Amino acid sequence: MRPPMHSIWKGFAAVLLLSSLSSPAQQTLPILVDGEPLIEYQAEPIANPKGGDAFKGSHFIHPLKTPSGFVITQIQPNDHKHHFGLWWPWKYIETNGRKVLCWELQRGDGIIQAAESKQLDNGLITSSHYIDRKAKGGPVVLLHETTTLTASAITEVPLTGYNLDLSIAQKSATDQPITVSTHHYSGFSIRATADWNKTNSTVLTSEGKDRHTANGSQARWVRIEGETPNVKTAGLLMMSHPSNQAHPEKLRTWNQQHDGAIFINFNPVADTDWVYQPDKTYTRNYRLFIYDGALSEDNADALWNSYATGS
């Protein structure tokens, strides 16, 4: 069954009605943290992307800022113009014998498009769709996603920072199963600020792996941390919930390529496919702790434990 395309555009229209919440230039929806717009959700395709209209991505977070305002994310770096801050597309999904590339949207194959968004007191509930643009007979929606984004207030313990929780719920849009294909990168990812490189930033995982050893390892959490332009330190702790598929998920990370640019991906399909049965919803949960300062390994572990046990 193929949902009509007009339903997608109806979704965009609904977003446009929220114009009072959107930044006119970027079509983003803010999530306020203690009254400050530290998180911006891209609710419409970006305007004037690098590389032309083929890169008109949406449904990602950028900028993502620490409490002091340091921007942790970047979008469209020259080396990978399809990297969009904090974003979580599958590399490939398969159904009815077609394998659809969803990661490199510029190829014109699959794309994930933001649809509707609903504002919460402390976040957003967004809906989005995976669309097979090359399907025989015209574009077709294959997968629905509902993403709940909620932010905490700023805490001073263990240091100045706040949590951003993501709950990503997906369901086949047709009466057919969807296979999320095995690949060495896919899913929940961040491309970190261009300010960070191999000399001024670090990567540490829950299993003690670093920039050089993290790739392909399993992890409960990953800490990325680096200097800010005024030579202070800021960072992000990415936590994967233990109930996630293939927990502890494998990582795709970079070591020194592109001068040590930081790319981190929690990947539940590193080793095996993940099959979604029709009419069933599949959920993954992640928490980010975004902070100013330097986070110890012990505190990172304690934050993950707190997240994992709901305490």
Partner 1 sequence: MKRRKFLKQSFVAGSASLILPSLSFGASPKNDTMRLAQIGTGRMGLGDMKNAMAVGTKPSVNARVVAVCDVDSNRVEVGKQNVEKFYRERGESQVEVKSYSDYRDLLARDDIDGVIISTPERWHALIGIAAANAGKHIYLQKPLTYSIAEGQALINAVRANNIVLQTGSQQRSSVYFYQVCTIIRNNWLGKLEKIEVEVPTDKGKMFAEPSDAPANLDYDMWLGPAESTPYIEAGVHPDQDFTRPGWLQREEFCLGMITGWGSHMYDIAQWAMGTDHDSGPVEISAKGDFPDRGIFDVHVGYEGEALYANGVRMTSRNGSAGVRFLTENGWAYCSRGAFKCSDMELLRRRPTADEVSLYKSNNHMADFITSAREGSDPICPVEVGHRSNSICVLHHASMKLGGRNLKWDPQQEVVVGDQEATDVINVPMRSPWII
Paired with 172 in beta bridges are: 143
By CB under 8 A, residue 187 contacts partner 1: no
303 phi and psi angles, rounded to 5 deg: -65, -40
Closer residue to partner 1, CB minimum distance, 243 or 256? 243
Tokens matching residue 127: 């809906």
Burial class (CB in 10 A: 0-12, 13-18, 19+), 70: buried
Closer residue to partner 1, CB minimum distance, 19 or 243? 243
Write the CB contacts of 136 (distance below 8 Å, at least 6 apart in sequence). none
Closer residue to partner 1, CB minimum distance, 91 or 284? 284
Smallest CA-to-CA distance from 228 within 292, 164, 289 is with 292
Please tell me whether residue 234 adopts helix, strand or coil conformation: strand
Mask for 202-241, x = binds partner 1 (CB under 8 A): ---------------------------------------x
Smallest CA-to-CA distance from 143 within 133, 131, 134 is with 131
CB of 86 to partner 1, least distance (A): 21
Give, as ranges, the residues between 271 and 310 that touch partner 1 (CB under 8 A): 283, 285, 298, 302, 305-306, 308-310
CB of 179 to partner 1, least distance (A): 18
By CB under 8 A, residue 157 contacts partner 1: no
**Size of site (CB under 8 A) for partner 1:** 15
Residue from 242, 258, 293, 294 touching partner 1 (CB under 8 A): that is 242
CB of 301 to partner 1, least distance (A): 8
**How far is the C-alpha of 151 from the C-alpha of 74, rounded, in Å?**
20
**How far is the C-alpha of 63 from the C-alpha of 161, rounded, in Å?**
16
Residue from 89, 187, 226, 248 touching partner 1 (CB under 8 A): that is 248
Half-sphere exposure of 147 toward its Cβ, with a 13 Å CA cutoff? 28
By CB under 8 A, residue 153 contacts partner 1: no
Write the CB contacts of 76 (distance below 8 Å, at least 6 apart in sequence). 49, 50, 51, 55, 82, 83, 84
CB of 254 to partner 1, least distance (A): 25
By CB under 8 A, residue 96 contacts partner 1: no
CB of 294 to partner 1, least distance (A): 16
Closer residue to partner 1, CB minimum distance, 139 or 242? 242
Residue from 107, 118, 134, 247 touching partner 1 (CB under 8 A): that is 247
Smallest CA-to-CA distance from 290 within 192, 161, 194, 167 is with 161
CB of 305 to partner 1, least distance (A): 4
Residues at the site binding partner 1, with contacts judged by CB under 8 A: 241-243, 247-248, 283, 285, 298, 302, 305-306, 308-311
